[in-house]
Amino acid sequence: MAKLVAVQQLQPCHHVPRVSPGSSLLHSSLSEFNGTALNISVQKKRKVWQPKGALQVKASSAKKILIMGGTRFIGVFLSRLLVKDGHQVTLFTRGKAPITQQLPGESDQEYAEFSSKILHLKGDRQDFEFVKTSLAAKGFDVVYDINGREGVEVEPILDALPKLEQFIYCSSAGVYLKSDLLPHFEADAVDPKSRHKGKLETERLLDSRGVNWTSLRPVYIYGPLNYNPVEEWFFHRLKAGRPIPIPNNGVQITQLGHVKDLARAFVMVLGNSKASKQVYNISGSKYVTFDGLARACAKAAGFPEPEIVHYNPKEFDFGKKKAFPFRDQHFFASIEKATRDLGWNPEFGLIDGLADSYNLDFGRGTYRKPADFSTDDMILGKSLVLQS
């Protein structure tokens, strides 16, 4: 049987032109956690620090909310916003990781208050019969599906909750078909062969079932606790004082969105009639080149401007290793629709968002994956031979 328990944590831990290719949850000087102040030039632009996330987003009434997942990255920040707004929040996980974790700069009192209100439903979402029986027994008004990848994973949830008020899904901008015309808009063609095709199938399933659904399509997500090597990849190389290898000419344009801005968007679609049966791109307001991102990471973290080495990926065999964390192409999306319909705007610029991530995570000595410079060494070794 499913076990629903309140979690008590005993030990706190310390318009946009098209181009062709060629709240806040953490207090710091840049957000709402009392993190380390930043000693970088971006501080000089503001005389008084105002907490980000001043906009309070509330549904019309308190809801009984289920989050599928919620213990790793997006859900950590989303669950705090929902609890703060008075909703009853249950996390559905396999129970292999702690259900809550104290965030950097979060006081013991704040953490204790949050963790005492979080409920946990332990189970495997691949066990469809268990999902149906346990969810039907508990009943929920709203489901946030943060970690769903296939439509078949969603069917038992819908079967169990026939009176569900809203299903809010985390999709991906990776579903769009590669195009010479950018940015991607929500109505653009999608790629049925994308590695995210399961998310497309889920969106179609939700629409076919007639439920009230909303899907958010982030581009690249970054921020504290990021388990994907996005900014962390650059920070490792900057800290080691190494050159940063970037494929081709480095002017490929991409886009990053801060996890806390994404969490706010997830809250702002809750109970919002404009968001019914809609898809929204969510990311930052600026686009950036690969070279520009390397320099932005250095500036945000207080490192000297990095040496950048360009290489031709076709000249190397990296095996199964990934030499660069981004797809080697222009890839960015318009966020106009979310801004228009939801009144949502990203609060983090790229530099202060990267600084928030660094100061509350990597800069404290925490990261998800250790540094691996093996592909870098292959690239830099060949570069030295060619230079000689």
Residue 24, CA distances (Å) to 53, 56, 161, 164, 217 in order: 4, 10, 31, 28, 20
Rounded CA gap, 140 and 122, in Å? 15
pLDDT at position 318 is 96
pTM flag (> 0.95): no
Encode the chain (388 residues) as per-residue pLDDT tens digits.
444 544 434 344 444 444 444 433 333 333 333 233 333 333 333 333 233 433 333 455 899 999 999 999 999 999 999 999 999 999 999 999 999 999 988 999 999 999 999 999 999 999 999 999 999 999 999 999 999 999 999 999 999 999 999 999 999 999 999 999 999 999 999 999 999 999 999 999 999 999 999 999 999 999 999 999 999 999 999 999 999 999 999 999 999 999 999 999 999 999 999 999 999 999 999 999 999 999 999 999 999 999 999 999 999 999 999 999 999 999 999 999 999 999 999 999 999 999 999 999 999 999 999 999 999 999 999 865 445 4
DSSP state of 274: G
Residue with token string 């996005």: 230
Q: Spell out where 146-195 has E strands.
A: 166-170
235 three-state secondary structure: helix
Of 155, 270, 274, 280, nearest to 206 (Cα)? Answer: 155
Distance between CA atoms of residues 191 and 35, nearest Å = 41
The set of residues, in sequence order, having a beta carbon less than 8 Å from that of 100 and lying 6+ positions away, is 7, 9, 71, 111, 114, 115, 118
- CA quadruple 348, 350, 352, 354: dihedral sign: positive
Per DSSP, the chain holds a count of helices (H) and strands (E) of 11, 16
Give the start-end residues of each E strand in the chain: 4-6, 27-28, 31-32, 64-68, 88-93, 118-122, 142-145, 166-170, 213-218, 220-222, 244-247, 253-254, 256-258, 278-282, 288-289, 308-311
pLDDT value of residue 311: 97
pLDDT of 55: 33
CA distance 224 to 350: 14
pLDDT at 54: 30
Q: Are 106 and 33 in contact (CB under 8 A)?
A: yes
DSSP 3-state of 278: strand
